[in-house]
Structures are given as C-alpha cells and as structure tokens.
C-alpha cells in the first residue's frame, strides 16, 4: 500500500510525545498527523466523567476532520472517552482505535487478575467497563483492581517527570499480585521501565495500540486490492 496517513487525536497534551514515539518505533513508514483538543479532558473532569452528547459530537467532528484530511487510520490517545470513540468508529469507513483496546486484550492473555492504574480519574470507569465486556466475551471472570495515582498527572504537567514516575512505581508495588498491570494513560508509558525493565506483566497502551492499528490498516488495504 501507499504510505499510510495516520491521525493521532489527543485530549491530553502529555499524550502527544508517547504516541509519536510509539509510532516512530512501531510504524516508522507511516505519515503521522496530530490533532489536540485538551479542553476535552478539562470538560470531562468538570462533568465528573460524564460523557454527554456535546462531547460525543466533538469527537465526531474531530474524526470526520481527520477522515476528510486523508486519514487511513485514526488512533485516539485518551482512555476516558470510550463511548465517544466508538461513535466515531461507527461513523467512519477507516479503522478507528481506542487507546486501550490492545492493552486490555494483552492483559486478559496474561491472566484474570488485572490492575488498572490511571493518572486521569475519568479513565477508570470507562476502562473497567471495557475490560468487563472483553472478559465476558472470552468467558473470563476477571478480578479487576483499579487505582488513580493522585498527583502524578499534575507532576508531569508542571515538568516534574521524576515525581510522576515515582508515584506510579509506588502504586505498582501495591498491586504485586496482579497478573497484568496496565498503565492506562499514554503519558504513563514512560514509567514502565522504572517499575521493572522487561517486566512482562506491565502493559503500556501506546506500543500495543500502534501495533493493532497497523494490522487493521494493512488488512483493510489488502481487502480493497
């Protein structure tokens, strides 16, 4: 296929770097475009995680813009907006991926005890719901442990990445019994190495998402030829 054009759509500024790094490592031949609307995360937090029709419409607008701009695939990078991303997927003819799909699939392959760590509180309800649905489809009864790592995102936003990572490492220690430990935010991926280099139970969202989107885009291209 021709060089694929992939749009990364962000609701958190801190997700841009990890998403682009994952694309560079896992899909270097793709052309990447970035769209950012960080008012989405602020508005969702103000609504205490409640996704209303207005936010869904904004996601549809972003997805439609990307599609009209030549996107062969779209990856959303904020895990708190699952239903809105599903609405975009239903509306567009190109692969649209939620940031956490591939990571949750990988977690279920590790075992039934799964810990979800997030730094943006609204992520937890959305991811937990998605994980429960995936587990049910696979006939798995999971034990889901969740944790919002308070203060970590604020650390990162003010430029203290070391403090951000330290909080996540401490939270990870509290879930040592988990078969899989999912770092829910793209911006959290940087802390994986500090938890334990090569630790197979630690799953980050950017690399797994890029690998899945690459597969989806290639499959679609082959079916159209």
Range with the poorest average pLDDT among 14-28, 75-89, 183-197: 183-197
Please answer whether residues 55 and 84 qualify as being in contact, where contact means their C-beta atoms are separated by less than 8 angstroms. yes
Range with the poorest average pLDDT among 9-23, 66-80, 211-225: 211-225
Report the candidate in 124, 30, 45 with the shortest Cα–Cα distance to residue 75: 30
CATH 3.40.50.1860 segments of the chain: 5-99+207-224, 101-205
**Per the confidence metrics, is the pTM higher than 0.85?**
yes
Coil, helix or strand at residue 138:
coil
pLDDT tens figures, 7-38: 999 999 999 999 999 999 999 999 999 999 99
CATH class of 101-205: alpha beta
Mean pLDDT of the chain: 93
DSSP label of 196? -
Distance from C-alpha of 170 to C-alpha of 168, rounded to nearest angstrom: 5
∠ CA 157-160-164, rounded to 5°:
85
Record: fold of 5-99+207-224: Rossmann fold (3.40.50)
Report the pLDDT value the prediction gives residue 122, as an integer from 0 to 100: 87
User: Does the pLDDT value for residue 103 go beyond 80?
Assistant: yes
């Amino acid at each position: 296929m021709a060089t694929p054009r992939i749009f990364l759509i962000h609701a958190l500024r801190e997700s841009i770097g990890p998403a682009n790094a994952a694309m560079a490592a896992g899909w270097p031949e793709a052309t990447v475009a970035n769209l950012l609307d960080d008012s989405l995360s602020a508005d969702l937090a103000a609504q205490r995680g409640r996704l209303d029709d207005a936010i869904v419409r904004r996601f549809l607008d972003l997805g439609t813009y990307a599609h009209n701009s030549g996107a062969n695939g779209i990856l959303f990078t904020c895990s708190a907006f699952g239903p809105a991303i599903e609405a975009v997927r239903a509306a567009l003819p190109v692969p649209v991926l939620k940031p956490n799909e591939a990571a949750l699939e990988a977690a279920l392959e590790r075992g039934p005890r799964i810990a979800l760590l997030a730094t943006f509180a609204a992520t937890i309800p959305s991811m937990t719901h998605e994980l429960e649905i995936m587990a049910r489809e696979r006939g798995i009864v999971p034990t889901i442990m969740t944790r919002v790592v308070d203060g970590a995102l604020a650390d990162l936003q003010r430029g203290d990445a070391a403090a951000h990572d330290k909080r996540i490492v401490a939270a990870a220690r509290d879930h040592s019994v988990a078969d899989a430990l999912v770092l829910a935010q793209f911006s959290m991926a940087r802390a994986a190495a500090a938890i334990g280099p090569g630790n197979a139970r630690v799953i980050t969202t950017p690399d797994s998402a890029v690998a899945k989107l690459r597969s989806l885009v290639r499959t679609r291209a082959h079916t159209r030829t």
